[in-house]
Structure 1
Amino acid sequence: MDLPEPRQQTAPPGGVQGDATFSLVVLSLTEALSLGGLLGNAAVLWLLSSNVYRNPCSIYLLDVACADLIFLGCHTVAVVSDLLPGQTAIPGFVHASLATLRFFCHLVGLGLLAAVSAEQCLAALLPTWYLCRRPRHLATAVCALSWALGLVLHLLASGACSPPLGEPGRPLCRAAWQAAAVLLGLLSGALGASGLLLLLCVERGPPRPPPGRFPALVLLSVLLSLSCDLPFGVYWLARSLRWRAPHRFSALSLLTAALHRAAKPVVCFCLGSAPGRRRRDPLRLVLQRALGEDAEVRAGGETPRRGLVEEAA
Structure 2
Amino acid sequence: MSLEPESPREEQGFLGLGPPTMAVSPTPQQQEYGNGSATEGRLNESEASGTPGGFHSYDWMDVFSLLVTSLGLLGNGTVLWLLGFRIRRTPYSVYILNLAGADALFLCCSFLISLRRLATCFYYIMYMVVLYLQCMSYTAGLSLLAAISTERCLSALFPLWYRCRRPKHTSAAVCAGLWAQAGVIEVTEFVTRNYLAPRRFCNFLTIYFVCFVLLTCILCVSSLTLLLRVQCSSRRRRPPRLYLLVLLTVLVFLLCGLPWGIEGFINDRFRIELMPDILPHSLACVNSSVNPFIYFFLGKQGHKGRESLRLILQRALGEEQEVGGGMRDIPHTNTQETSSGG
Q: Does residue 1:204 correspond to 2:221, yes or no? A: no
Q: Does residue 1:131 correspond to 2:163, yes or no? A: yes
Partner Cα distance (2:318, 2:172) in 1: 18
Pair 306,80 (structure 1): closer, same or farther in 2 beyond 3 Å: closer
Query: Does the Cα contact within 8 Å between 1:3 and 1:241 map onto a contact in 2?
Result: no
Q: Mean alpha-carbon deviation: is it higher for 93-102 or for 39-48?
A: 93-102
Q: Mean alpha-carbon deviation: is it higher for 17-26 or for 148-157?
A: 17-26
Pair 73,161 (structure 1): closer, same or farther in 2 beyond 3 Å: same
Partner Cα distance (1:234, 1:93) in 2: 26
Structure 1: gaps spanning 5 or more residues: 295-302
- Once the 2 structures are TM-superposed, how far is the Cα of residue 206 of structure 1 from its aligned partner? 9.0
Pair 73,170 (structure 1): closer, same or farther in 2 beyond 3 Å: same
Q: Does residue 1:94 correspond to 2:126, yes or no? A: yes
Query: Partner letter of residue 184 of structure 1?
Result: F
Partner Cα distance (1:142, 1:131) in 2: 18
* Residue 259 of structure 1, aligned match among 286, 304, 323: 286
Pair 182,63 (structure 1): closer, same or farther in 2 beyond 3 Å: same
Query: Partner letter of residue 108 of structure 2?
Result: G
Partner Cα distance (1:60, 1:155) in 2: 24
Residues 128-149 of structure 1 show CA distances to partners (whole Å, capped at 9, x for unaligned) of 3321222222111211111111
Structure 2: gaps spanning 5 or more residues: 1-17, 30-44, 321-329
Pair 89,52 (structure 1): closer, same or farther in 2 beyond 3 Å: closer
1:1-313 to structure 2, matched below 5 A, reads 2=19, 4=21, 17=49, 21-51=56-86, 53-80=88-115, 88-162=120-194, 165=195, 168-204=196-232, 212-241=240-269, 243-246=271-274, 248=276, 250-278=277-305, 280-292=306-318, 304=331, 312=340
Pair 106,309 (structure 1): closer, same or farther in 2 beyond 3 Å: farther
Partner Cα distance (1:193, 1:309) in 2: 28
Residues 25-77 of structure 1 show CA distances to partners (whole Å, capped at 9, x for unaligned) of 21111110111111111110000110351111100000001111111111111
Partner Cα distance (2:161, 2:257) in 1: 34
- Once the 2 structures are TM-superposed, how far is the Cα of residue 261 of structure 1 from its aligned partner? 1.1
Partner Cα distance (2:260, 2:189) in 1: 18
Match of residue 33 from structure 2? none
Residues 216-265 of structure 1 show CA distances to partners (whole Å, capped at 9, x for unaligned) of 110000000110001111233245436231452x1111111111111100
- Once the 2 structures are TM-superposed, how far is the Cα of residue 21 of structure 1 from its aligned partner? 2.9
Residues 197-232 of structure 1 show CA distances to partners (whole Å, capped at 9, x for unaligned) of 110111125977755211111000000011000111
| Secondary structure in structure 1 of the residue aligned to 2:56 | helix
Identity of aligned residues (%): 32
Pair 247,254 (structure 1): closer, same or farther in 2 beyond 3 Å: same
Partner Cα distance (1:259, 1:5) in 2: 30
Query: Partner letter of residue 304 of structure 2?
Result: R
Pair 129,207 (structure 1): closer, same or farther in 2 beyond 3 Å: farther
Partner Cα distance (1:133, 1:175) in 2: 40
Q: Whose relative contact order is higher, 1 or 2, with alpha carbons under 8 Å and at least 6 apart?
A: 1
Query: Partner letter of residue 104 of structure 1?
Result: M
Partner Cα distance (1:26, 1:169) in 2: 35
Partner Cα distance (1:115, 1:309) in 2: 20
Aligned residues: 296
- TM-score normalised to structure 1 length: 0.83
Partner Cα distance (1:308, 1:226) in 2: 31
- Once the 2 structures are TM-superposed, how far is the Cα of residue 276 of structure 1 from its aligned partner? 4.8
